[in-house]
Amino acid sequence: MAKAELKTEQKTEIEDSSSLKGTLASVFFLGLFIVITWVSVYMLFVERF
Smallest gap from residue 19 Cβ to other proteins (A):
7
Smallest gap from residue 12 Cβ to other proteins (A):
13
Q: Which of residues 1-30 bind other proteins (CB under 8 A)?
A: 15, 17-23, 25-27, 30
Give the C-alpha separation, 44 to 37, whole Å.
11
Residue burial 13-28, b: 16+ Cβ < 10 Å; e: rest: eeeeeeeeeeeeeeee
Distance, C-alpha 24 to centroid of its chain: 6
Residues at the contact surface with other proteins, assessed by CB under 8 A: 15, 17-23, 25-27, 30, 33-34, 37-38, 41-42, 44-45, 48-49
